[in-house]
């Protein structure tokens, strides 16, 4: 849509890890990349050893691994050795409770140090870590604890009383609840258990194929699924963070993802620690001033965030960004939703840096398609497949699929199985897992196209794509075009059934401050859309300052559609309330 590519000049002081994409891609193999990991002293592979113990045994021993800011801005620091000892203690706590290999341990917590200790201590004990969003109400908590056969939950006394206490009887598998604070009846004190435990622990034999993580999908398209991941995934976490986030050991890294979804673990805990960086953790909710303050005061160098957050920063204006000293920042990346070209370019203007979009999903465990530090960015494109990842565009009839090689053809984005962080199952749903693979491809459920130079462009989720008067309309393209209008902060686009054209395109639009939802503006936006998009432009526009988002920051188009059509809303457990 006329966006100029952003050319990369290598003026930065830091040499990109992926300096020559075509060459690295040609030479890469997961087998040789494995040498970047340490492995357990007696053989085998355990995420906790790669993330923490190996650094604690070397020159990074006293380096700050985690700097956790509470809501008041007060920070608690843990070095790699602190983290080694704390996670040893937690592994011993689990052992004393009779929790062993493969047993599930969940957190229902915000961004507090104990979450990180629980996550790593759990996998250290060869148990399985399952994070839950702290904002979940009782039903979503029950559903996931039950689906995951969770035996231990770590939470706060407040969350326990509000969300869990009333469910206890219906969750016979949930044997132990550890709380951070004074324990209500039926729970134990996390701190007291930790104080009793030894800080020495030897990681039991762990195979790369042992289950390590259980992640629930975001529930954007329906009921969340429990994706199973193994210890071997750490290789993909490590390599992709080097390439897609350009992480170097000296970086100060901030990942704003909620710890309740997969990004919060893969890139909010594991990958950065395997690189030995200092990680900033900030407990507060989104606030433009507060976020710029974190970037400035913590001298963040690499920042991994999401389109919704960037759109909200954009809404607050480039001038605000310029009031802060963001000179330490050298790399910005985004994931979770299509990143509008407008936002990529805004990054250049407001932060002095373009935003690097990348694509992956709970099932892939790690970034699969990405923009890179040394490669030109085509605003609106998700970028190029990671070295070691083979992607394709396929078409089929449900019985079989074939790859389509002609450029620009729209089809389902598919991946060749074999990367180390590929999910190994949907828990208790083997049939669904089996259905995700066809003719040697893993089918992602997303539609995309690939341009002649191999860049991938997101069209939409297979479920969201609109068929209107013979055209296939990807909501993202329409949303991005609308965002080019100065009044539009964000939008969500759906297809509304229509007897004549199949579906008409309808856009729900959030306005920027200073703009009123008038009929004139509506008419103007429809005309604006028509000029940009022609036949696929929205015919209807509704103003909505509170588009429904998932907790992981995605616009829930299926909910917009259900509400529009007066249909049941379906599973809304991951709906973010109050924004």
Residue number with CB closer to Mg ion (134 or 217)? 217
Residue number with CB closer to ligand ATP (292 or 423)? 423
SS3 37: coil
**Segment contacting ligand ATP (CB under 6 A): 68-76, 179-187, 331-339, 488-496?**
331-339
210 interface partner picked from ligand ATP, Mg ion, none, CB below 5 to 8 A per type: none
| Shortest distance (Å) from residue 232 CB to Mg ion | 22
- Alpha helices (runs of H) in 216-373, residue ranges in sequence order: 233-244, 262-265, 271-274, 288-297, 307-315, 318-322, 341-350
Residue number with CB closer to Mg ion (217 or 381)? 217
Per the listing, tokens 């009846």 go with 185
Q: Choose which of 378, 554, 557, 561 interacts with ligand ATP (CB under 6 A).
A: 554
Concatenate the DSSP letters of all residues of 402-435 into one string.
Answer: EE--STT--EEEEE-S--TT---EETT-HHHHHH
Pair 68, 113: CB distance under 8 Å: yes
Residue number with CB closer to Mg ion (87 or 217)? 217
Q: Choose which of 17, 122, 552, 573 interacts with ligand ATP (CB under 6 A).
A: 552
For residue 107, which of 267, 333, 261, 308 has the smallest C-alpha distance? 261
| Shortest distance (Å) from residue 216 CB to Mg ion | 11
Residues 381-440 that bind ligand ATP (CB under 6 A): 382
| Shortest distance (Å) from residue 92 CB to ligand ATP | 33
Distance, first Cα to last Cα, the chain = 30
Residue number with CB closer to ligand ATP (187 or 265)? 265
Binding track over 284-323 against ligand ATP, x by CB under 6 A: ----------------------------------------
Binding track over 350-379 against ligand ATP, x by CB under 6 A: -------xxx-xx-----------------
Cα-based torsion angle of the residue sequence 133, 413, 341, 288 in order, rounded to the nearest 10 degrees = 10
Residue number with CB closer to ligand ATP (88 or 573)? 573
* 219 is an interface residue for ligand ATP by CB under 6 A: yes
Per the listing, tokens 């066809």 go with 438
Give residues with Cβ within 8 angstroms of 287, minimum separation 6: none
* 217 is an interface residue for ligand ATP by CB under 6 A: yes
Environment class of 172 (CB within 10 Å of its CB; exposed 0-12, middle 13-18, buried 19+): exposed
Per the listing, tokens 């007066």 go with 566
d(CA 165, CA 177) in angstroms, rounded, equals 10
Query: Which pair of structure tokens corresponds to residue 115?
Result: 């979450």
Pair 476, 462: CB distance under 8 Å: no
Residue number with CB closer to ligand ATP (48 or 310)? 310
For residue 259, which of 213, 293, 327 has the smallest C-alpha distance? 213
**Binding residues for ligand ATP, total number by CB under 6 A:** 26
Binding track over 192-231 against Mg ion, x by CB under 5 A: -------------------------x--------------
Region at 257 (left for phi over 0; alpha for psi -120 to 50; beta for the rest):
beta
Residue number with CB closer to Mg ion (217 or 316)? 217
Residues forming contacts to ligand ATP in the complex (CB under 6 A) are 217-222, 224, 261-262, 335-339, 357-359, 361-362, 382, 444, 446, 458, 461, 552, 554
Residues forming contacts to Mg ion in the complex (CB under 5 A) are 217
């Amino acid at each position: 849509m006329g966006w100029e590519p952003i050319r990369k000049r290598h003026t930065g002081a830091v040499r990109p890890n992926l300096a020559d994409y075509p060459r690295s891609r040609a030479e890469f193999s997961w087998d040789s990349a494995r040498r970047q990991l340490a492995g357990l002293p007696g053989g085998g592979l355990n995420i906790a050893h790669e993330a923490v113990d190996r650094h604690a045994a070397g020159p990074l021993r006293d380096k700050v691994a985690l700097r956790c800011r509470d809501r008041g801005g007060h920070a608690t620091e843990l070095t790699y050795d602190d983290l080694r000892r704390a996670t040893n203690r937690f592994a011993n706590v689990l052992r004393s409770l009779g929790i062993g290999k493969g047993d599930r341990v969940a957190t229902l917590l915000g961004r507090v140090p104990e979450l990180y200790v629980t996550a790593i201590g759990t996998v250290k004990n060869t148990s399985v870590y399952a994070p839950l969003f702290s904002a979940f109400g009782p039903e979503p908590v029950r559903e996931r604890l039950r689906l995951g056969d969770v035996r231990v939950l770590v939470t706060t006394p407040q969350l326990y009383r509000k969300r869990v206490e009333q469910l206890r009887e219906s969750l016979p598998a949930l044997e132990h609840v550890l709380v951070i604070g004074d324990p209500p009846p039926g729970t134990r004190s996390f701190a007291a258990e930790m104080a009793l435990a030894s800080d020495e622990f030897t990681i039991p034999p762990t195979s790369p194929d042992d289950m390590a993580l259980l992640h629930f999908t975001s529930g954007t398209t329906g009921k969340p699924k429990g994706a199973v991941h193994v210890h071997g995934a750490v290789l993909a976490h490590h390599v992709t963070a080097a390439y897609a986030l350009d992480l170097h050991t000296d970086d100060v890294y901030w990942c704003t993802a909620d710890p309740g979804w997969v990004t919060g673990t893969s890139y909010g805990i594991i990958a950065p620690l395997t690189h030995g960086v200092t990680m900033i953790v900030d407990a507060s909710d989104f606030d433009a001033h507060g976020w710029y303050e974190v970037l400035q005061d913590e001298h963040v160098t690499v920042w991994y965030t999401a389109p919704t957050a960037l759109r909200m920063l954009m809404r607050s204006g480039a001038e605000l960004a310029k009031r802060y000293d963001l000179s330490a920042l050298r790399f910005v990346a985004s994931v979770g939703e299509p990143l509008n070209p407008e936002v990529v370019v805004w990054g250049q203007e407001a932060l002095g840096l373009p935003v690097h979009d990348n694509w992956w999903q709970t099932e892939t465990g790690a970034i699969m398609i990405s923009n890179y530090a040394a490669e030109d960015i085509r605003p609106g494109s998700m970028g190029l497949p990671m070295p070691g990842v083979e992607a394709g565009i396929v078409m089929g009839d449900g019985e079989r699929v074939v790859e389509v090689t002609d450029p620009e053809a729209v089809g389902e984005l598919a991946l060749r199985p074999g990367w180390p962080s590929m999910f190994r199952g949907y828990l208790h749903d083997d049939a669904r897992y089996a259905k995700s693979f066809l003719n040697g491809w893993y089918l992602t459920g997303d539609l995309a196209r690939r341009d002649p130079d191999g860049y991938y462009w997101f069209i939409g989720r297979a479920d969201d794509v609109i068929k209107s008067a013979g055209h296939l309309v990807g909501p993202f393209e329409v949303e991005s075009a609308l965002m080019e209008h100065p009044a539009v902060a964000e939008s969500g686009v759906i297809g509304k059934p229509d007897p004549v054209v199949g579906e008409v395109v309808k856009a729900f639009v959030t306005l920027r401050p200073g703009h009123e939802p008038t009929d004139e503006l509506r008419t103007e936006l429809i005309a604006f859309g028509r000029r940009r998009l022609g036949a696929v432009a929205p015919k209807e526009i509704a103003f909505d300052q509170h588009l429904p988002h998932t907790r992981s920051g995605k616009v829930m188009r299926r909910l917009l559609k259900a509400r529009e059509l007066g249909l049941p809303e379906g599973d809304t457990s991951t709906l973010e309330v109050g924004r």
